[in-house]
Chain A
C-alpha cells in the first residue's frame, strides 16, 4: 500500500492494465454472442444508476449495476413484441440507451449533485483509488471463474443458442450471469476509460482477436494480450503527450479494425 501511495503512477497503471484484460475478455464473449448493442445500453444506463446511488448514499457499484440491469430488462420487455431481424429491436435498444443517458444528465442537474460527469463518461485514471482496483480484480476473477466452470455452455450460447436450448442447457441462468458480469465490468472500467469509451476497449481487441481465430480460447487469449498492450500504449502516450489516458486508449483501438476477418485458410 505504501508503494501504491509513493509511486503515483502505479495504481493508475494497474487499473488501466486490468481494464485492458477484463474488457476484451468479456468483449470477445459478447461479440460472438451478438450482445454488443445491449452492452452499449448497459454502459449508458450506469449513469442514472450511479447518480441515484450518490443521491441516496448507496454504494456506486450497486447503483451502477442496478441501472444497467434495469435498463436491459426494460429493453428486453419493450423488444419482446418487435419482430427479430426487422431492425426494430435495435431501434428500441438505442432509444432506451439515449433515454438513460438523458435521465442521468437531468438527474445530476435536478438534484444538484457534485458528480464529475466528464470523469464518468471519459474516465479519469488519476483519481482511481484502491477500490477501483479491487472492483476490477473481482470482475476479472469472476469472469475467469465463469469461463472455467461454464466454457462449453458459453460456447453453445455463442455458436447456436437454439441448439443450446435443444440440449436443455440452463440458458436463462447463463444469460443472467453474463448480464451481471457485464454490468460489473462496465462499472469497474469507468475509472479507466469511462462509460462512453468502454465499448472501444470491449469491442476492438475482440474484433481483432477473432480475425482468423480457430477457437474461442485462442480468440480470448489474443484479445487479452491486445487489450493489455492497448492499455499500456494509452498510458504511455498520456505521459508523453500530457493528454487524458482514457480517450487515448479509445483512439488506439481504432486501427485494430483494419485487421480483416479471414474465414478461409
Chain B
C-alpha cells in the first residue's frame, strides 16, 4: 500500500521555477449577475503544488472547473503550454469533490483505470502502483472505500497521462489514515513532475509537499503565508 511505489522517494521542490505549464489570465466568471471570480491570474508550473484556500462558496470548485475548461469564463482565458485548452483537455484531470462516476457500474478497478489509457496493461499497473491500489486491481469498484475511490480517480488521471491534476477538496470526508496516504501520494506525484492544484479548508495532512498557498476571497486570488496547518 506504499503510496510512493513506482515513483521513487518523495522530495520537496521549490515553487515555481519553469515557464508555466498552465496559465490563467483575467479569469472572470459569475452565475447570472452575481460575480464569483474576478480577473484571476494564475500560473502553474510542472512539478509544483498549489493550494487554494477559501470559505465554502468562495468559488474554489468553480475555479478548478474553469481551469479544466469544463466551464467557460465570461472573460479571460486559460492556456496549457501556451495553447488554448480545446483539443488538449486530456492533459488536465479534475478529481471533483462529488465525482459523477457511477460506482455501481460493472467494472473492476483495473478495468476502470485501463479506460484512461486504452487498456494498456503496463500503464494501468503503473498507475495502480503509484496510488498504492495494485492489490485491489480485480476488485469491483463498488467495493472500494471513500479513500480508495479518491485514489482510484487519481490513478485514472495518471493512466490518462494527465500533466495537471486538479483536486477539489481531496481530503474532505477521509479518515486520518486515508488523508495521510493521499498526502504522501500527492507529494510523490509532485516529485515526479505532475503539477497539482488542490483546494482545501481545514487542516491538512503533514505529508503534503512544499506548496504555494493562495486564498480565494470575494472573487480575488491572493497569495498568503502558509497557515500553521499548511506547513509541510
Contacts and interface: CB of A to CB of B under 8 A. Distances in A.
Interface string B121-165: 000000000000000001010110000000000000000100000
B107 interface: yes
B106 A216 contact: yes
Given A160-B100, A166-B89, A32 B106 contact: yes
Contact of B102 (A159, A168, A213, A214): A159
Contacts of B208: none
A210 B102 CA distance: 14
Given A168-B89, A214-B140, A216-B107, A163 B102 contact: no
A187 to B, nearest CB: 28
Nearest to A33: B102
A264 B115 contact: no
B112 interface: yes
A219 B108 CA distance: 13
A173 interface: no
A213 B104 CA distance: 10
Interface stretch (A100-108, A150-158, A242-250): A150-158
A87 B79 CA distance: 39
Contacts of A161: 100
Nearest to B143: A264
B148 to A, nearest CB: 13
B90 A167 contact: yes
Nearest to B105: A159
Given A155-B115, A156-B115, A168-B87, A163 B140 contact: no
Contacts of A218: 106
A166 B101 CA distance: 12
| Interface SS of B by simple majority | loop
B94 A159 contact: no
Given A156-B115, A168-B89, A214 B106 contact: yes
A32 B87 contact: no
A165 B94 CA distance: 12
B140 A263 contact: yes
Nearest to A32: B105
B104 to A, nearest CB: 6
Interface residues of B, number: 25
A2 interface: no
Nearest to B96: A162
B219 interface: no
B59 interface: no
Contacts of A168: 87, 89-90
B137 to A, nearest CB: 12
Interface string A201-243: 0000000001001111011000000000000000000000000
B101 A163 contact: yes
Given A168-B90, A214-B140, A263-B140, A158 B102 contact: yes
A264 B68 CA distance: 34
A15 B106 CA distance: 30
A8 interface: no
A156 B101 CA distance: 9
Contacts of B118: 152
B94 A263 contact: no
Contact of A215 (B104, B108, B143): B108
A170 B69 CA distance: 17
Interface of B: 68, 70, 87, 89-90, 93-94, 99-102, 104-108, 111-112, 115, 118, 138, 140, 142-143, 160
6 contacts: A158-B102, A159-B115, A166-B94, A168-B87, A215-B106, A218-B106
Given A166-B68, A214-B108, 11 more contacts: A34-B102, A158-B102, A161-B100, A163-B101, A214-B106, A214-B140, A215-B107, A215-B111, A218-B106, A263-B104, A264-B142
The 9 A-B residue pairs whose C-beta atoms are closest, nearest first, are A263-B142, A162-B100, A213-B106, A160-B101, A264-B143, A159-B105, A219-B106, A214-B108, A160-B100
